[in-house]
Homo-oligomer: A and B are copies of this chain.
């Protein structure tokens, strides 16, 4: 197995690799039954050193739908690292049991370390601390691909906590690989896009606003994220601004007919539940598509075409 066959960072892939993965996922969506034996006889280790139910179930459903088998654990409680074993030893042992490893870890760089010590099987980063969550980014890009072509000149609103919002940072990083887009950053000044992310925007254009309402009509895509009260500088600031970042019926009326609302989920109160019935809110479909792109990803890392 060569190093390239791991999936650690969104930037590990070229546009070609993304497009091939999307094409395969499109095929699976079209005729799932034709892929129900693609990974028969293969075993996946689903290693969640910190819980992440949604991501774990998405991977495990995906691999089962390919006919593969899954073993693993859902939190660190049940791991031998408690006996003082190093992570690399644990991974070296487990690679002797399985064909593919999916790992979520609370430490930054854990998956990269894995890719360095593993010699027989590929590893997928299902999130390493607050650092990367590349299969969420893959899900987001695949959703864009399903609703708009990725070569379109899209205007994408990024709304909420853009300072700490890991998924937004990764999404921008990945979109730059595709030539960049028009990013409209919608956030309080104190929760604006950090410089290390800004510096990565070399192809796209960025504008900054404080109030979602202002720009609602311009957007082809609105990517919502959570805004946590405790992240505001003061209670007054929170009270002044919070409604700017809550998507409701009234704001939705200003939106284009074919715009889409995405959200990495979990959603708390930043999107009114009544909007779930609006065909333009696609976050549940987005989670659904995440399973198919993970099927595609795992097939590619295992080198199975069909």
Contacts and interface: CB of A to CB of B under 8 A. Distances in A.
A54 B83 CA distance: 12
A120 to B, nearest CB: 9
A60 B71 contact: yes
Given A84-B268, A93-B265, A265-B93, A51 B78 contact: yes
A290 to B, nearest CB: 8
Contacts of A77: 51, 75
Contacts of A90: 53-54
A110 to B, nearest CB: 16
Given A36-B41, A80-B54, A85-B268, A64 B72 contact: no
A154 interface: no
Nearest to A45: B57
A265 B89 CA distance: 9
Interface stretch (A94-102, A143-151, A234-242, A243-251): A94-102
Contacts of A48: 78
Contact of A85 (B61, B96, B266): B266
B58 A284 contact: no
A288 interface: yes
A111 to B, nearest CB: 18
B266 A58 contact: no
Given A71-B57, A266-B83, A93 B41 contact: no
A284 B118 CA distance: 12
Nearest to A61: B97
